[in-house]
């Protein structure tokens, strides 16, 4: 199924596949064990144009479409979901947020470096008491005339240690509820901005996740994104596209598990034949391929909606809900097909299974995707 991909789409997909095989695969087990990811690999992803895929070339981006973006995400995620979450946050949350809603000055100052990978971005919405319930922001930003004074805590921040630029959501006027929330651009090293230790995680262990602390951080007025009170809508609109990226990540994790399982089942022999000749295994392969293909249709449909200028909030949520379920279920099957070998690191599928789980949690849990989808159906 090629979804009428253009020559350009096929080229970018092959470039991402090649990069994943030659640069990400070696060392992926060690990076998972050590919870590390070398700057050198981030630099290479930037050189290939993966850090600003959809950004206008005048801001240093690759000027490609959302279909190209999901193709890149899928290929990177087949091998290393830690690399792809870095790419996803930088592209669909930080670069998109700045390009779509930032001022020209903000774009010149921040977007160009982010789109080339010279700097990495982080998107800071979640808090200890405001995860799914994102309007309950406790971080405050008090208007002090020429600047805002920021205080509070953000947790679970992807790229939290590596980033140079942070988009931070905070409450400026509690009485106004979600209309009293704003989004700000912060830079690493601002006085009063502290980065906590790296979380020790089940999966995507190469990606750094940190708690951030703000103690009287002075944020210049010009670092607010959009009109006063636009911050919650900024976060929601940005996440609508972000969810397409995570859906593509989930698809890639599932497809990576399937490809390994298919290969293994054609090599491993039991009871005098390759295990793929046992119907129980063959049927698992059939189910895996069917589910993954269905997930790919939803991911491509959401990316096409975005490219066509159609609303993609519902289709992105559907793609994430379904693809993340497929990733979780089918990586468990990939481990099963590998038998005992599936349980050890050397065969990669146990890592894919651990990495799959996060796709049902971040950028809105599966339960939250159902809220988004059902509300849009009822509203229609």
Check binding of 132 to ligand FAD (CB under 6 A). Answer: yes
Residue 76 · residue 20 · CB < 8 Å: yes
Check binding of 364 to ligand CAA (CB under 6 A). Answer: yes
Residue 296 · residue 275 · CB < 8 Å: no
**Count of residues in contact with ligand CAA, rule CB under 6 A:** 23
Specify the residue, 312 or 347, whose C-beta has the smaller distance to ligand CAA: 312
Check binding of 35 to ligand FAD (CB under 6 A). Answer: no
Check binding of 125 to ligand FAD (CB under 6 A). Answer: yes
Check binding of 163 to ligand FAD (CB under 6 A). Answer: no
Check binding of 368 to ligand CAA (CB under 6 A). Answer: yes
Among 50, 123, 232, 234, binds ligand FAD (CB under 6 A): 123
Which entry of ligand CAA, ligand FAD, none binds 124, CB below 5 to 8 A by partner kind? Answer: ligand FAD
Among 28, 70, 89, 168, binds ligand FAD (CB under 6 A): 89
Check binding of 367 to ligand FAD (CB under 6 A). Answer: yes
Specify the residue, 162 or 201, whose C-beta has the smaller distance to ligand FAD: 201
Which entry of ligand CAA, ligand FAD, none binds 239, CB below 5 to 8 A by partner kind? Answer: ligand CAA
Which entry of ligand FAD, ligand CAA, none binds 138, CB below 5 to 8 A by partner kind? Answer: none
b/e code 277-307 from CB counts within 10 Å (16+ = b)? eeeebeebbeebeebbeebbebbbbbbbbbb
Specify the residue, 178 or 198, whose C-beta has the smaller distance to ligand CAA: 178
Three-class SS of residue 55? Answer: coil
Distance in angstroms (rounded) separating the CA atoms of residues 227 and 166: 19
Residue 136 · residue 126 · CB < 8 Å: no
Q: Which residue is nearest to ligand CAA (CB)?
A: 362
304: left (phi over 0), alpha (psi -120 to 50) or beta: alpha
Specify the residue, 71 or 373, whose C-beta has the smaller distance to ligand CAA: 373
**Beta-bridge mates of residue 83:** none
Among 166, 193, 232, 347, binds ligand CAA (CB under 6 A): 232
Helix (H) or strand (E) holding 204: none
Exactly one of 350, 363, 367, 380 is catalytic; which is it? Answer: 363
**Count of residues in contact with ligand FAD, rule CB under 6 A:** 21
- Length of the chain equals 380
Establish whether 227 is a catalytic residue.
no
Check binding of 158 to ligand FAD (CB under 6 A). Answer: yes
Distance in angstroms (rounded) separating the CA atoms of residues 277 and 266: 8
- Which tokens hold the place of 169? 């959501």
**CB burial of residue 236 (10 Å; 0-12, 13-18, 19+):** middle
Specify the residue, 102 or 342, whose C-beta has the smaller distance to ligand CAA: 102
- Measuring CA to CA, how many Å separate 39 from each of 35, 90, 159? 13, 15, 12
Distance in angstroms (rounded) separating the CA atoms of residues 100 and 37: 29
Three-class SS of residue 124? Answer: strand
Residue 112 · residue 145 · CB < 8 Å: no
Applying the rule CB under 6 A, the residues between 72 and 131 that interact with ligand CAA are 85, 89, 123, 125-126
Specify the residue, 212 or 334, whose C-beta has the smaller distance to ligand CAA: 212
Distance in angstroms (rounded) separating the CA atoms of residues 177 and 70: 34
Interacting residue ranges for ligand CAA, rule: CB under 6 A: 85, 89, 123, 125-126, 132, 134-135, 158, 178, 232-233, 236-237, 239-240, 313, 362-364, 368, 371-372
Active site residues: 363
Interacting residue ranges for ligand FAD, rule: CB under 6 A: 89, 123-126, 131-132, 156-158, 201, 204, 209, 358, 361-365, 367-368
């Amino acid at each position: 199924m090629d979804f009428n991909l253009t020559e350009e789409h096929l080229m970018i997909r092959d470039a991402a596949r090649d990069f994943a095989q030659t640069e990400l695969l070696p060392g992926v087990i060690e990076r998972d064990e050590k919870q590390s990811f070398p700057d050198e690999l981030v630099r290479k992803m930037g050189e290939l144009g993966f850090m600003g895929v959809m950004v206008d070339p005048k801001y240093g981006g690759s000027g490609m479409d959302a279909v190209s973006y999901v193709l890149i995400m899928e290929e990177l995620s087949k091998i290393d979901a830690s690399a792809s979450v870095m790419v996803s946050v930088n592209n669909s949350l930080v670069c998109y947020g700045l390009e779509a809603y930032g001022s020209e000055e903000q774009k010149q100052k921040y977007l160009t470096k982010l789109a080339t990978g010279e700097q990495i971005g982080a998107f800071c919405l979640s808090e200890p008491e405001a995860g799914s319930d994102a309007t309950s922001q406790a971080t405050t930003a008090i208007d002090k005339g020429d600047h805002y004074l920021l205080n509070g805590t953000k947790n679970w921040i992807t790229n939290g240690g590596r980033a140079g630029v942070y988009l931070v959501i905070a409450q400026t006027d509690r009485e106004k509820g979600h209309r009293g929330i704003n989004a700000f651009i912060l830079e690493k090293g601002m006085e009063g901005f502290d980065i906590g230790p790296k979380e020790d995680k089940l999966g995507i262990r190469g990606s750094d996740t940190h708690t951030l602390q703000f103690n009287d951080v002075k944020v210049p007025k010009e670092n607010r994104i959009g009109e006063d009170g636009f911050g919650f809508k900024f976060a929601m609109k940005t996440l609508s596209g972000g969810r397409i990226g995570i859906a593509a990540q989930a698809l890639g994790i599932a497809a990576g598990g399937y490809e390994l399982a298919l290969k293994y089942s054609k090599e491993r022999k039991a009871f005098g034949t390759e295990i793929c000749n046992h119907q129980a295994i063959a049927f698992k392969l059939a189910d895996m391929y069917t589910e993954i293909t269905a997930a790919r249709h939803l991911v491509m449909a959401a990316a096409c909606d975005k490219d066509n200028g159609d609303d993609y909030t519902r289709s992105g949520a559907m793609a994430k809900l379904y693809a993340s379920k497929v990733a979780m279920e089918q990586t468990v099957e990939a481990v099963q097909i590998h038998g005992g070998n599936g349980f050890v690191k050397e065969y990669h599928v146990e890592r894919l299974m651990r990495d799959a789980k996060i796709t049902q949690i971040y950028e809105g849990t599966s339960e939250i995707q159902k809220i988004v989808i059902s509300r849009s159906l009822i509203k229609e």
